[in-house]
Amino acid sequence: MSELALEELSALTAIYCGRDECEVLAVSETDGIMLRIQTSVKGLLDTDILLKLSFHLPVSYPSSLPNISANSEHLTRAQCMDVKKRLLEQAKRHLSEPMVHELVLWIQQNLKYFIEQSETSVCSEKSALSTDTGTEDGIWTVLLHLDHMRAKAKYVKTLEKWTTDLRLTGRLMFMGKLILILLQGDRNRIKEYLILQKTCKVDVDSSGKKCKEKMISVLCETKVHSEHKRFQAFEVKEYSTLDELQKEFDAAGLTELFSEFVLALLK
């Protein structure tokens, strides 16, 4: 059993020190470490979901992946299987380094998106069976606010690649220190974008080390209506005045969105 695994176990028991938060089930030189972490995670409408995550860290861990299982009375079996699948995908990104705490933090930040995706998918299937509503039903507009970009050129290139891969359109808008991302496209693809935005190392910290985006907020999410202009591509634009920025929103039929959310940021 590696020293890294034992050190991680000690750290986990210190971090998750509340009642029933962390339970060490077994520590063995031949079978490795088995532990269970119980955590509260935000679901849809910010409801609290009690999630139990079991980790089996084999003797070769962290050079090999842990075995993971998820269980919750608030989730369906299929949703629990989805949590397990996605955690294992994340674990591959942390191979050869202690990862349990990172995985718990990741699922805390992203679980509600998985739930909404699965429920949206079911609703879409039911809608398709009951009436022919066309493809526009899945098109949404989302407005995001970024606090800053240190590695601007690399950051912008990454966002352009993600929007291309996910077939999303819109604008990356700079005005002074204000940074906004306006996205349009299939709602599920927008959710995939948000997961990428929050889990990938897209920027650098003050010391120049690669880091994840922790200062992003979703200002608004709304279905595209007839008065809204559909963006044809994802473009990066810079504005020198507030009036120029407002004209971009006006041209897209999003004047109310500008007034309610963008102006509020500048107060």
Write out pLDDT tens, residues 130-161: 333 334 456 899 999 998 898 899 999 999 99
Identify whether 121 is part of a domain: no
pLDDT for 80 equals 86
Identify whether 33 is part of a domain: yes
Given pLDDT bands bounded at 50, 70 and 90, which one contains residue 27? very high
Instruction: Give the count of alpha carbons within 13 A of 180, CB side only.
Output: 28
- State the residue range of the domain holding 49: 3-115
Evaluated on CA atoms 131, 121, 188, 115, the torsion sign reads: positive
Give the E-state strand segments of 112-241 in sequence order. Answer: 139-146, 169-175, 178-186, 201-204, 210-212, 216-223, 234-238
Alpha-carbon distance 185 to 196, whole Å?
16
Identify whether 51 is part of a domain: yes
For the residues 199-218, what does the mean pLDDT come to? Answer: 82
* 203 and 89 assigned to the same domain: no
Which among 184, 196, 188, 222 has a CA at the least distance from the CA of 119? 188
Given pLDDT bands bounded at 50, 70 and 90, which one contains residue 15? very high
Given pLDDT bands bounded at 50, 70 and 90, which one contains residue 34? very high
Identify whether 130 is part of a domain: no
Alpha-carbon distance 164 to 143, whole Å?
18
Given pLDDT bands bounded at 50, 70 and 90, which one contains residue 120? very low
Question: What tens digit of pLDDT does each residue of 188-200 get?
Answer: 889 888 888 888 8
What pTM was computed for the model? 0.50
* 140 and 234 assigned to the same domain: yes
* Number of independent structural domains in the chain: 2
Identify whether 122 is part of a domain: no
* 86 and 36 assigned to the same domain: yes
Of 115, 144, 171, the last residue of a domain is 115
CATH number at residue 101: 3.10.110.10
CA distances (Å), origin 96, targets 15, 34, 64, 65, 84: 21, 18, 7, 9, 19
Return the number of other C-beta atoms located less than 10 Å from residue 225's C-beta. 10
Residues contacting 123, CB < 8 A, separation 6+: none
